[in-house]
Amino acid sequence: MARLTSFLLLSLLCFLPFCLCDKSYGGKLFPGYYAHSCPQAGEIVRSVVAKAVARETRMAASLLRLHFHDCFVQGCDGSLLLDSGGRIVSEKSSNPNSKSARGFDVVDQIKSELEKQCPGTVSCADVLTLAARDSSVLTGGPSWVVPLGRRDSRSASLSGSNNNIPAPNNTFSTILSKFNRQGLDVTDLVALSGSHTIGFSRCTSFRQRLYNQSGNGRPDMTLEQSFAANLRQRCPRSGGDQNLSVLDIISAAKFDNSYFKNLIENKGLLNSDQVLFSSNEKSRDLVKKYAEDQEEFFEQFAESMIKMGNISPLTGSSGEIRKNCRKMNS
């Protein structure tokens, strides 16, 4: 409770017109950044996201994933949103994003509305950050105060996207090292992985666990057998790469702590999920804690999302404010 009280107090202080939160939130990011230049920015983002999630609940998970995949490459700078063209080779074609990253049309809708009300003011990077928070809230998850003021990159990194974003079949140590490189620790790793309480994953992301986990033609023995049998019906040994399965078999459309309960029962869909329980004592303890206490999970998820959203933002005169999130200003 003391941790939550201090966290909320700091959040409230950050609404003051001068930035008391500079050191805690990093750089020049602060929640009131658009208070005068575009006071309706938050409501515009929330309204478009709400309509998108009402049409398709899965969109909430997709928007959260876009923010994560953006921040792990060059920082939270909107680089993921750039299409290929000129000197830009889009991150959308990387292994983690190709045929799976989605929600770009929702970002376009948000940006279009913002440009009508506040031309050239709100960055695409901040749009992603706000949309991720709203996606959590709209599916029953926690809310948090979003520090703002990011600017948009004038570059993208296909190699960074391929190398920095954890893969579904990575080992625990590889995943943790990729988080550590971003200034995130094991607590952030476990809490942020909890976003897999909503959404889906493609057969190609977990087929290895069903048929050939270690290259010996045998399945992953940490996978609960009846769960594995059901997954094989949706994910054959060959074909069906794009077939979808829910990441959380208990409540796939609700942001809660059932994801962690699944891990304890060896019913995590991805290898990168299950290793949080099977491969490391500290992460296992965190899984157990969050499975028992949803409020604790929600508090840590909010803190870790703010921390992730603070990875290497462009501020001041760096970067630009794109008019169209898919391309740099001319």
Residue from 36, 67, 69, 196 carrying the catalytic annotation: 69
* 3-state DSSP of the chain: CHHHHHHHHHHHHCCCCCCCCHHHHCCCCECCCCCCCCCCHHHHHHHHHHHHHHHCCHHHHHHHHHHHHHHCCCCCCCHHHCCCECCECCHHHCCCCCCCCCCHHHHHHHHHHHHHHCCCCCCHHHHHHHHHHHHHHHCCCCCCCCCECCEECCCCCHHHHHHHCCCCCCCHHHHHHHHHCCCCCHHHHHHHHHHHHCCEEEHHHHHHHHHCCCCCCCCCCCCCHHHHHHHHHHCCCCCCCCCEEECCCCCCCCCCCHHHHHHHCCCCCCHHHHHHHHCCHHHHHHHHHHHHCHHHHHHHHHHHHHHHHCCCCECCCCCECCCECCECCC
**Residue 67 annotated among the catalytic residues of the structure:** no
Nearest CA to 328 out of 158, 152, 91, 106 is that of: 152
- Annotated catalytic residues are 69
